């Protein structure tokens, strides 16, 4: 009666992260439901069987449709390539399942809107995997902003830079197709857009530029045959926020030397906050009014007084990791589903509606880049 049967679609990097989080969460938090690794789906039976054994699932199938239709499955976790998010999620919602989907929500704004509308209509709990929002240091940053400690927010400078596509000899993959991924902006750039919206508020207008640096890639490792790349390698955008602040965001998957530069500076009238995921157990805080000659950023180290950090370690400065952020994310999902099952109104954050708003910002940037003008976000 108190179990939550998990159906996982996809067993790659993110599938493993989801499985690990569902296994770990019950040992760290007092939850209303106990997650059970029930059913795993992969592209065929053999791959599914091997993955189920490796990740500890009780059952497996080579057909995601069978997983979605299975009456024993309570929540469907989607960690497939981006183009499959919409059909799987829509089928799961139609079947009355709760849905935990990796970002970005979809490859088109139309699909994202359809997914959000379907979830609202069916009344299921949804969650989208913007797990960096779950960092206790990001919660602290938002707390500082909301408290007024750094005054009214005037500016946001954000970047998400990695180098996993930097080598021009890197072969063509699904990430290079617009219908499958959407480019650096839609893929990794969605993370910095989520942080901008989370910390500053709604984005009202954008001016964007997209740049495809490596416009052809080998069809296979070492092959002389190439295919045309239809997506951006890097993107830049100016933002206007509803509260009057302005900002910039950059997304790049060809940033040589950068492995996980998800970073921002948030400027207010009385101070600033600086953060980078490369040192994500730290937050830099500057406030005005200190003694002359002694002003500057100070480093706040994550510790048990910072929210969810305490579930993992009782001592400050010992640090938590990427997998722990997924576990914190899953905790919110299980709590929301538990409340839903108890008949209380419940929502996980960010849900499909929140993720759709992020998709709308990205789409506005795409339109702006194509038309070479400022675009109001609510016009797309």
Residue-wise pLDDT for 145-169, tens only, equals 999 999 999 999 999 999 999 999 9
For residues 118 and 168, membership in a common domain is answered with: no
**Whole-number Å distance between alpha carbons of 128 and 252:** 22
Pairing between β-strand 75-78 and β-strand 3-9 as defined by DSSP bridges? parallel
For residues 197 and 240, membership in a common domain is answered with: yes
For residues 196 and 288, membership in a common domain is answered with: yes
Q: Is residue 56 part of a domain?
A: yes
Q: Is residue 365 part of a domain?
A: yes
Q: Is residue 242 part of a domain?
A: yes
Confidence (pLDDT) at 345? 86
Q: Is residue 377 part of a domain?
A: no
Q: Is residue 193 part of a domain?
A: yes
For residues 194 and 311, membership in a common domain is answered with: yes
Confidence (pLDDT) at 167? 96
Three-class SS of residue 364? helix
Extract the tokens encoding 144.
């500082």
Q: Tokens 């927010």 label which residue?
A: 153
Q: Is residue 378 part of a domain?
A: no
Confidence (pLDDT) at 2? 93
**Whole-number Å distance between alpha carbons of 72 and 95:** 12
End-to-end CA distance of the chain: 44
For residues 109 and 200, membership in a common domain is answered with: no
- Residues in contact with 267: Cβ distance below 8 Å, sequence separation at least 6, in sequence order: 150, 153, 154, 155, 156, 157
What angle separates helix 189-199 from helix 136-147, to the nearest 10 degrees? 40
Going from the C-alpha of 106 to that of each of 88, 126, 171, 363, the distances in angstroms are 11, 14, 23, 11
Using CA of residue 345, residue 139, residue 13, residue 218, what is the dihedral sign?
A: positive
**Whole-number Å distance between alpha carbons of 127 and 114:** 15
The stretches in the chain having pLDDT less than 70 are 1
**Whole-number Å distance between alpha carbons of 248 and 167:** 26
For residues 155 and 88, membership in a common domain is answered with: no
For residues 147 and 293, membership in a common domain is answered with: yes
Extract the tokens encoding 42.
């992969």
Q: Is residue 379 part of a domain?
A: no
Confidence (pLDDT) at 1? 59
CA 92 to the chain's CA centroid: 20
CA–CA–CA angle 118, 119, 121 (5° rounding): 65
For residue 331, what is the domain's CATH number? Answer: 3.40.50.720
Q: Tokens 């021009």 label which residue?
A: 168
Q: Is residue 380 part of a domain?
A: no
Three-class SS of residue 196? helix
For residues 118 and 206, membership in a common domain is answered with: no
Nearest to 124 by CA among 132, 115, 134: 115
What pTM does this model have? 0.95
For residues 167 and 95, membership in a common domain is answered with: no
For residues 179 and 42, membership in a common domain is answered with: no
Total domain count, the chain: 2
- 266 membership: H or E segment, kind and range: strand 261-268
For residue 177, what is the domain's CATH number? Answer: 3.30.360.10
For residues 95 and 36, membership in a common domain is answered with: yes
Confidence (pLDDT) at 161? 98
The range of the structural domain enclosing residue 254 comes to 136-279+281-320+359-371
For residues 178 and 93, membership in a common domain is answered with: no
């Amino acid at each position: 009666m108190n179990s939550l049967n998990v159906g996982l679609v996809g067993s790659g990097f993110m599938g493993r992260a989801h499985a690990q989080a569902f296994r770990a969460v019950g040992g760290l938090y007092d939850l209303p439901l106990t997650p059970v690794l029930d059913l795993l789906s992969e592209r065929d039976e053999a791959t599914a069987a091997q993955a189920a054994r490796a990740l500890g699932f009780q059952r497996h199938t080579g057909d995601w449709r069978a997983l979605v239709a299975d009456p024993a499955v309570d929540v469907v976790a989607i960690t497939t390539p981006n183009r499959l998010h919409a059909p799987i999620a829509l089928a799961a919602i139609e079947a009355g399942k709760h849905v935990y989907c990796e970002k970005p929500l979809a490859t088109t704004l139309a699909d994202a809107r359809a997914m959000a509308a379907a979830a609202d209509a069916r009344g299921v709990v949804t969650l989208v995997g913007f797990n960096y929002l779950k960092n206790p240091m990001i919660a602290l940053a938002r707390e500082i902003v909301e408290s007024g400690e750094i005054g009214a927010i005037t500016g946001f400078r954000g970047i998400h830079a990695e180098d996993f596509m930097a080598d021009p000899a890197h072969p063509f993959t699904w990430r290079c197709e617009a219908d499958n991924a959407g480019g650096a902006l839609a893929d990794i750039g969605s993370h910095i857009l989520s942080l901008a919206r989370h910390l500053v508020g709604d984005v009202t207008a954008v001016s964007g530029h997209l740049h495809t640096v490596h416009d052809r890639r080998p069809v296979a490792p070492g092959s002389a045959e190439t295919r045309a790349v239809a997506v951006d390698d890097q993107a830049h955008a100016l933002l206007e926020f509803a509260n009057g602040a302005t900002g910039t965001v950059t997304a790049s998957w060809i940033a040589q030397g950068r492995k996980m530069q998800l970073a921002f500076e948030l400027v207010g009238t009385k101070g600033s906050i600086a953060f980078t995921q490369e040192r994500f157990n730290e937050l830099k805080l500057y406030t005005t009014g200190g003694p002359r000659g002694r002003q500057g950023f100070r480093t706040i180290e994550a510790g048990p007084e910072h929210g969810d950090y305490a579930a993992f370690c009782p001592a400050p400065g010992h640090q938590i990791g990427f997998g722990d952020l997924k576990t914190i994310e899953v905790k919110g999902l299980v709590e929301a589903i538990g409340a839903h099952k108890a008949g209380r109104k419940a929502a996980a954050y960010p849900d499909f509606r929140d993720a759709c708003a992020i998709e709308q910002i990205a789409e506005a940037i795409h339109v702006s880049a194509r038309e070479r003008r400022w675009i109001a976000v609510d016009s797309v």
